[in-house]
Amino acid sequence: MRIQVIRSGGFAGIERRAALDTNGRPDAFQLHALARDVLAAGGAEPPPGVPDGFHYEITVDTRTVHCADPDLTQAQHQLIRIILKEGT
């Protein structure tokens, strides 16, 4: 499974991208569970968010959902943190 996160917005408006392939990872089961939860909770269109907040576009294989601060679910927050930290 390939997971990609694009973070945009924020005070500086700088976009950040990272992707992670879960194949062969020891935490793949956890990442797959988070990805399922994120896909279930995310919207097809970008939500309004708040001024200077971040917007996220999360793609799991071929399906893309959107979410924004401050209304992230626990799963969205966790997956975003993992992908932006460990992804390339």
What's the alpha-carbon Rg for the chain, to the nearest Å? 12
d(Cα 55, Cα 16) in Å, to the nearest integer?
11
The two structure tokens encoding residue 9: 């917005």
pTM (2 d.p.): 0.93
When the pLDDT of each residue in the chain is averaged and rounded to a whole number, the result is 94
11: tokens are: 């005070």
Contact 85, 76 (CB under 8 A): no
88: confidence class by pLDDT, cuts 50, 70, 90: low
Q: Are residues 84 and 16 in contact, defined by beta-carbon separation less than 8 angstroms?
A: yes
Q: What is the DSSP string of 41-55?
A: H-BSS-----TT-EE
pLDDT digits (tens, 9 = 90+) for 24-43: 999 999 999 999 999 999 88
pLDDT digits (tens, 9 = 90+) for 57-82: 999 999 999 999 999 999 999 999 99
